[in-house]
Structure 1
């Protein structure tokens, strides 16, 4: 949220505060400016809250959407302390609609901007504040309370191609809905006509803000780490020929002696030596032949 001089303000969509980017303060003008992402066909609310305990005067808001003034809201003088359960609720105002009659209103909606090439539209329209939600907070004294008669909603119509300022969205108003009887306050400015605080929310499509570096781009995806391959040590394990130990060494040595004696005996008696078998040489194997091993 944006905060200045004990007052905070923010914009909500689906009951959640939109994140602010590129926040800048101008203390000489009592103004804070930021960027927020907008999404077409989404309803939104503008919220402001008084954070000061024991404030003696009322606060009044003046809301402007795309440069068109909308009737604001009033926070009455403090009647509870910061420690009471209702402090935050009583010191916060949520404005999500434009009152068109005593018993009906139309909700705020982000919509796609309609463009035209008609030169008359370009000459007759003011687009200096297109794509802006501005809320000014004043110190006031409530003079009178009366029924709110409402008013017609502002209508920008189509915007000339040359005046859109890279804006793709605008504020429109949803279908009329029934509300409880609305009342309005007649107020008188205190101190001066200079606002206590001004909050400016410049709304743009999320992708446009990201493309212009206002919203940081996500970091590139990390490359997957190379999969480590476990190298098996083939020089150990149960598959190796087991080395004889203990009594097995004696058995091996005894067997070796017997084999040596047998070979010496055969050499001394040539008649016992089996004749060498003659090996019949087969024809060369031709690639592609099938050998029947059965």
Structure 2
């Protein structure tokens, strides 16, 4: 759920709020932006609420889907129609009115791609965006419903300008709905009180771009692999240390034997001539030191 001052907004699919990723806000422009994961064929709704305990003016919400404005909804002042000061009604925008008794639901759809040159000039700057502007507003009065709304067209872009976007906002089949009262409104002020922007993409694309973090089990696996690698290095280092110590012990033992033999030879004394030394060439100890054997 996105928050800005007393306002909150979120996107729901199948009655569940979609998780937001990479949330950023610009307090000077009254804008909050995030990413959400879309799924082809799923209906969605835009939801918002004002948590002010009391409000003496009308709020109006104006959604834009892929840059196309669709019908919004107004929220009367807190004291209108006997609303209690503690009430915080949730405004839900989920469809486009196509006649007095029919609607078409918002739906994530597959983006239409074409190679026809007539679509080259259509930049699709806001493709992949659900924008909700909330304004102070004045209600002018009732108006007639426009039948066969042109807002229900599905986006089509040239194949050279789709910018790695594979989803767009489409609309479900026409459904019967209860008659609605429709009014015209007028924005008050020079800019919205807040603008919520939900950038939607395929889940795998968001994950590939690092916007959605990897699953926790992958993190654990990476940590485990790192630990195993470190353990292997530790074992190797310990083995090297043990080998060096064994070699030092062998050298020390040989030196002690040599010293003992030299001591015996010097203490044999007088009458018997010392035994003739025979030099054996090329006899090496593993330490690399050359010694004479008697």
Q: TM-score, normalised by structure 2?
A: 0.70
Deviations 1:231-284 (A, max 9, x none): xxxxxxxxxxxxxxxxxxxxxxxxxxxxxxxxxxxxxxxxxxxxxxxxxxxxxx
Gaps of 5+ in 2: 226-294
Pairing 1:206–2:203 present:
yes
Q: 1:138 maps to which residue?
A: 135
Deviations 1:32-70 (A, max 9, x none): 000000000000001111111110001001110000000
- Offset at residue 126 of structure 1 (A): 3.3
1:120-131 counterparts in 2 under 5 A? 120-123=118-121, 125-131=122-128
Q: 1:172 maps to which residue?
A: 170
Whole-angstrom distance in 2 between the partners of 1:23 and 1:203: 13
SS of match in other structure, 1:42: coil
- Offset at residue 152 of structure 1 (A): 2.8
SS of match in other structure, 2:160: helix
Larger Rg: 1
Q: 2:76 maps to which residue?
A: 76
Contact kept? 2:68, 2:151, Cα under 8 Å? no
Contact kept? 1:109, 1:174, Cα under 8 Å? yes
Whole-angstrom distance in 1 between the partners of 2:204 and 2:103: 31
Shift of the 157–134 alpha-carbon distance from structure 1 to 2, 3 Å rule, reads closer
1:99-114 counterparts in 2 under 5 A? 99-114=97-112
Whole-angstrom distance in 2 between the partners of 1:2 and 1:217: 22
Pairing 1:25–2:25 present:
yes
Pairing 1:155–2:160 present:
no
Whole-angstrom distance in 2 between the partners of 1:208 and 1:55: 42
Query: In proportion to residue count, which structure has more helix?
Result: 2
Contact kept? 1:109, 1:171, Cα under 8 Å? yes
- Offset at residue 185 of structure 1 (A): 1.9
Contact kept? 2:207, 2:214, Cα under 8 Å? yes
> RMSD between aligned alpha carbons?
2.0
SS of match in other structure, 2:138: strand
SS of match in other structure, 2:56: coil
Whole-angstrom distance in 1 between the partners of 2:185 and 2:39: 35
| Aligned residues between the structures | 219
SS of match in other structure, 1:137: strand
Contact kept? 1:148, 1:182, Cα under 8 Å? no
Contact kept? 1:134, 1:200, Cα under 8 Å? yes
Whole-angstrom distance in 2 between the partners of 1:40 and 1:188: 35
Gaps of 5+ in 1: 225-294
Q: TM-score, normalised by structure 1?
A: 0.70
Whole-angstrom distance in 2 between the partners of 1:72 and 1:78: 19
Contact kept? 1:100, 1:153, Cα under 8 Å? no
